[in-house]
Amino acid sequence: MQNIRIAAASVNQTPMDWVGNRGRLLAAIAEARAAGAQLVCLPELAITGYGCEDMFFSVGVQKAAITQLAELLPHTEQMVVAVGLPLFYESSIYNAAALIADGELLGVVCKQFLASDGIHYESRWFKQWPAGVVGQVDLGKRLYSVGDLLFDVGGVRIGFEICRDAWVAERPGGQLARRGADIVLNPSASHFAFGKQSIRERFVLEGSRAFGVTFVYANLLGNDSGRSVYDGGVLMASGGKMVARGRLFSYSDVELTVADFDIDRNRQSRGQAFDSRTQVDRPDDSLHLASFDWVEAGPAMANQSAEPEAWETAEDAKFEEFSRAVPLALFDYLRKSRAQGFVVSISGGADSAAVAVLVHLMVRQGTKELGPEAFAERLGSPSRLTAVLESLAGIDHDALAKALTGALLACVYQPTRNSSETTRNAARAVSEAIGADFFEWDVDAQSEGYVELVSKAVGRELTWDADDLALQNIQARTRGPGAWLLANLRGAILLATSNRSEAAVGYATMDGDTCGGLSPIAGIDKEFIRDWLRWMEITGSDDHPPIPELNVVNEQQPTAELRPHSEGQTDEGDLMPYAVLDAIERAAIRDKQMPDEVFAVVRALFPNYEEQQLGGWVVCFFELWCRNQWKRERYAPSFHVDDENLDPKSWCRFPILNSGFVQELEELKKRLGI
């Protein structure tokens, strides 16, 4: 029996933060050493940060990565450490993982399958390494092996599947197992999406079973560079059984998971599993031999969080993930942008209420995990936050979280004559329930001033009959300057409140409700936001009891409140039912279907509506989608939380100038008689 104690770490890195990134990697190595681990797996591109984008082309960044790798070497005495970095080799850049043993670099493995779908553009920066190829790279004063390597380190064979390598059908692990791999490391930068951890668990378990190895997955953590959220969640398996799981959505810089593995048992099961047709077939230089003294692991450790988190329903799981992913992303965005807090222009409706509650969840979760003092320190000790902490002592966590929310979040309600007491009361109730600073100022005079100014200039009075859209938009735009001013005064980030459903059809006012430096829910559809708010009102998350005050938001029909009260304006009246809108969007944009195909989809989903009505909504969607791409191009950065994002900078590319599907829509209208 040969027991090895293995550690894997999730780390929260920032692109090109050389001092900070190195410090966090050294902290992970030190924690692993203290836990008695001799092998440590660190995430993909952990030295530079994953989100360097076109800076990967910078020779300075490439050289800095090698320099940082060299600075890690002295800290790996009597340990084996795997860490990711970009590597320039011959004429190309590769996404690579270096293996270090006892202070010496053994070699570098390069990623064979690049992530180039969805939000990923790895093929823009990196070249795919061909299977079975090994080269030599000059890293200063000597040559090192690079490519498709297997390492024999003191008699224990270690191979790599770098992130995407493990997601494909012909994954490298099969060949590694045939070459005698005992351990397969999977350094990853796998962004969060709803339900994704269960998919990762499947490939980790299947890899460990099918290859007869110990399989170790180590992921990045937090908001690396703005849009992507990394959930951490180390996974360690052997023989088809999960041995250890790391914590998801941690606010810590480093989240370490450690477990013991019997290498001899893996070898026995692998010998029984592989049939007589298995051939020894590898290049002579693909196996790198290195001496290393594996010290027998100490007393057996208890499994770390070996059971996954369980929620009552799949819907609960999605709500819980949302309640953790976006607050963590907000926390990292706040501290990495060095801002002092957030401002929300709160309307009394669902979207702005959701954004405000998410900020409060950030405070609750961060202070619960880190403690209030460490939470403030991680944020750079903003003056308002520090002042609140100094004035409070001995109060319970709920009260403290509300007080600290007030130090970091200001909500402002800005009515016009078309606003109602319902939304005013809702805006105040939600703000007070979460402890946010609440402001109210009336912008009706400013809005009417613009109307009067332009009326005189064009020589006629603007009227609702003739100028409906313009009169609606000026009210929304009038709210922008005051919200920006408040954000500037507080050194805060103004949060935009538009959702994905509205982004799809341009049902948002540029420089109005799209005002902001960050748009945290622009990747989430309206129906989900409404369902989540009802869940927060009645059930609450694992980290927050229900917020009954949300009832005053949830009982309303969503409305922009930009027309006179007598109009009875609602969002769905202006557009279509949100459930229908979201179904059309998924079929048209996610699934790339043409108008007639989309109509067939929604006709099957919504048989309770007349065909002409559904067809009219399909036409409306495509017309609005095509004419509003310019708006989506101008949205503030949003967080990627599922595979239906509309962000043209990270997910959904669409031409600003386009055909408008004129021919296809005319054919659909003719067929339906509309």
* H or E element, residue 193: none
List Cβ neighbours of 67 (8 Å cut-off, separation of 6 or more).
none
261 against 307, higher pLDDT: 261
Question: Are residues 323 and 468 located together in one domain of the fold?
Answer: yes
Average pLDDT over residues 528-539: 97
Residues of the chain with pLDDT > 90: what percent? 84
* Structural domain includes residue 651: yes
* H or E element, residue 244: strand 241-245
Paired sense of beta strands 342-345 and 409-413, if any: parallel
Average pLDDT over residues 344-363: 97
User: Do residues 582 and 524 lie in contact, with contact meaning Cβ atoms separated by under 8 Å?
Assistant: no
Decide if pLDDT at 311 tops 80: no
Confidence class of residue 568 from pLDDT cuts 50, 70 and 90? confident
Question: Are residues 265 and 340 located together in one domain of the fold?
Answer: no
CA distance 190 to 169: 18
Confidence class of residue 305 from pLDDT cuts 50, 70 and 90? low
* H or E element, residue 674: none
CATH assignment of the domain containing 120: 3.60.110.10
Predicted pLDDT of residue 397: 87
- Residue 117: exposed, middle, or buried by beta-carbon count in 10 A (0-12, 13-18, 19+)? exposed
User: Do residues 280 and 39 lie in contact, with contact meaning Cβ atoms separated by under 8 Å?
Assistant: no
CA distance 11 to 296: 27
- Residue 103: exposed, middle, or buried by beta-carbon count in 10 A (0-12, 13-18, 19+)? middle
How does DSSP classify residue 445? Answer: H
- Of 529, 556, 583, the residue that ends a domain is 556
- Of 232, 260, 290, the residue that ends a domain is 290
CATH assignment of the domain containing 512: 3.40.50.620
Predicted pLDDT of residue 468: 94
User: Do residues 2 and 263 lie in contact, with contact meaning Cβ atoms separated by under 8 Å?
Assistant: yes
Question: Are residues 251 and 364 located together in one domain of the fold?
Answer: no
Question: Are residues 277 and 384 located together in one domain of the fold?
Answer: no
Question: Are residues 646 and 543 located together in one domain of the fold?
Answer: no
Confidence class of residue 276 from pLDDT cuts 50, 70 and 90? very low
Domain total for the chain?
Answer: 3
Q: Which two tokens stand for residue 21?
A: 């990134």
Question: Are residues 509 and 363 located together in one domain of the fold?
Answer: yes
Q: Which two tokens stand for residue 512?
A: 């109005």
CATH assignment of the domain containing 628: 1.10.10
Confidence class of residue 285 from pLDDT cuts 50, 70 and 90? low
Mean pLDDT of the chain, nearest integer: 93
Question: Are residues 87 and 228 located together in one domain of the fold?
Answer: yes
* Structural domain includes residue 561: no
* Structural domain includes residue 460: yes
User: Do residues 512 and 473 lie in contact, with contact meaning Cβ atoms separated by under 8 Å?
Assistant: yes
Decide if pLDDT at 283 tops 60: no
Task: Write out the residue range of the structural domain in which residue 661 sits.
Answer: 572-674
- Give the angle subtended at the CA of 481 by the CAs of 476 and 483, to the nearest 5°: 85
- Residue 390: exposed, middle, or buried by beta-carbon count in 10 A (0-12, 13-18, 19+)? exposed
Paired sense of beta strands 39-41 and 437-440, if any: unpaired
Dmax (CA) for the chain in angstroms is: 92
Confidence class of residue 281 from pLDDT cuts 50, 70 and 90? low
Question: Are residues 489 and 630 located together in one domain of the fold?
Answer: no
Confidence class of residue 1 from pLDDT cuts 50, 70 and 90? low
- Report pLDDT digits (tens) over 462-514: 999 999 999 999 999 999 999 999 999 999 999 999 999 999 999 999 999 89
Question: Are residues 248 and 331 located together in one domain of the fold?
Answer: no
- Tally the residues of the chain: 674
Decide if pLDDT at 163 tops 80: yes
- Of 532, 556, 580, the residue that ends a domain is 556
Question: Are residues 389 and 465 located together in one domain of the fold?
Answer: yes
| Phi/psi of residue 591, nearest 5 degrees | -95, -5
- Report pLDDT digits (tens) over 582-609: 999 999 999 999 999 999 999 999 999 9
Which of 290, 41, 39 minimizes the C-alpha distance to 150? 290
Q: Which amino acid is at 67?
A: T
Question: Are residues 537 and 584 located together in one domain of the fold?
Answer: no
Predicted pLDDT of residue 295: 84
Predicted pLDDT of residue 304: 59
Average pLDDT over residues 136-158: 94
- Report pLDDT digits (tens) over 608-625: 999 999 999 999 999 999
- Report pLDDT digits (tens) over 122-139: 999 999 999 999 999 998
Q: Outline where 314-441 has alpha helix (H).
A: 314-336, 350-370, 372-378, 383-391, 397-408, 421-434
Does the pTM of the predicted model rise above 0.85?
yes
* Structural domain includes residue 565: no
* Structural domain includes residue 295: no
Phi/psi region, residue 240 (left: phi>0; alpha: psi -120 to 50; beta: rest), is left
DSSP 3-state assignment of 638? coil
* Structural domain includes residue 263: yes
Q: Which two tokens stand for residue 650?
A: 């990270």
Question: Are residues 209 and 324 located together in one domain of the fold?
Answer: no
Confidence class of residue 216 from pLDDT cuts 50, 70 and 90? very high
Q: Give, in order, the Cα–Cα distances in Å from 253 to each of 6, 185, 332, 607.
A: 20, 21, 10, 51
Predicted pLDDT of residue 160: 98
* Structural domain includes residue 18: yes
CA distance 608 to 605: 9
* Structural domain includes residue 303: no
